[in-house]
């Protein structure tokens, strides 16, 4: 039995993964963005151990969440599932003055990775759209570019893939992998999504808890439990270090 923390598990793929893991006998701790959503989350996943509430668009709340997670004891795995989707109309800023999609999809998992005591396994949710992400990393917070919500989302998924591969390189004792769950009909994906909702949460469950995986794989990008096509740039150590340095500057937290 593994103890696993899942961000963004009040609905969608995070909740689905949590239910599968609880059904398999694992000890699951949930996360939601506020107390109301936390109450909903724990009601929807009978058998979950606990739920933490924190708004991942806030650097301070994300840091406090890491403290709460550490205080609750060791985790065998963390699934970084939380994300916001396309924001087409305008550049929505957080309390820290950052675009919400960057704060939640990129900076929050970076901070949590840095501050939560290292588990044996880390799983990050990417997307095939990471292939369209901006590899220059020149304007992470969209201060110079004209806002494009779809591009900002793609950028964030390239950035989470960079984080995944950087951690695999820097922390060889930790299994660090990312998942393309497919375009599935969750609240974020929409009713028109064409991929299998049944398969959507299963790869992250497999990577987080399957005992047959032992110490491998790490530094992988998976789609439906098979190797997927990751952008070549995501494996570039120089680009990874530039990305980590930028996140350290924005958050005040360094991954070492």
Which pLDDT tens digits describe the chain residue by residue (256 residues)? 999 999 999 999 999 999 999 999 999 999 999 999 999 999 999 999 999 999 999 999 999 999 999 999 999 999 999 999 876 678 899 999 999 999 999 999 999 999 999 999 999 999 999 999 999 999 999 999 999 999 999 999 999 999 999 999 999 999 999 999 986 545 555 556 556 677 899 999 999 999 888 667 899 999 999 999 999 999 999 999 999 999 999 999 999 8
pTM of the complete model: 0.95
Asked whether residue 78 is assigned to any structural domain, the reply reads: yes
Q: Which residues form the catalytic set? A: 153, 157
* Domain of residue 118, CATH code: 3.40.50.720
Q: How many domains does the chain have?
A: 1
Asked whether residue 256 is assigned to any structural domain, the reply reads: no
- C-alpha triplet 30, 34, 39: angle, nearest 5°: 60
Per the structure, the complete domain to which residue 64 belongs is given by: 3-251
């Amino acid at each position: 039995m593994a103890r696993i923390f899942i961000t963004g598990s009040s609905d969608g793929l995070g909740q689905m993964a949590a239910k599968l893991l609880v059904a398999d006998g694992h000890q699951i701790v949930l996360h939601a963005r506020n107390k109301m959503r936390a109450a909903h989350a724990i009601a929807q996943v009978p058998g979950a151990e606990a739920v933490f509430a924190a708004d991942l668009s806030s650097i301070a709340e994300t840091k406090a969440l890491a403290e709460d997670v550490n205080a609750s004891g060791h985790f065998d795995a963390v699934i970084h599932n939380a994300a916001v989707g396309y924001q087409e109309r305008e550049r929505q800023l957080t309390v820290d003055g950052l675009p919400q999609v960057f704060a939640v999809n990129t900076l929050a998992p970076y901070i949590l990775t840095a501050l939560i005591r290292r588990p044996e396994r880390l799983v990050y949710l990417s997307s095939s759209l990471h292939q369209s992400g901006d590899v220059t990393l020149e304007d992470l917070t969209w201060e110079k570019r004209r806002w494009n919500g779809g591009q900002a989302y793609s950028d964030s998924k390239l950035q989470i893939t960079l984080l995944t591969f950087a951690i695999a390189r820097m922390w060889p004792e930790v299994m660090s992998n990312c998942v393309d769950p497919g375009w599935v009909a969750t609240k974020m994906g929409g009713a028109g999504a064409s991929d299998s909702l049944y398969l959507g949460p299963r790869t992250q469950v497999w990577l987080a808890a399957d005992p047959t995986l032992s110490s491998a794989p790490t530094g992988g990008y998976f789609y439906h439990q098979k190797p997927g096509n990751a952008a070549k740039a995501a494996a570039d150590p120089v680009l990874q270090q530039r990305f980590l340095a930028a996140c350290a500057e924005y958050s005040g937290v360094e991954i070492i």
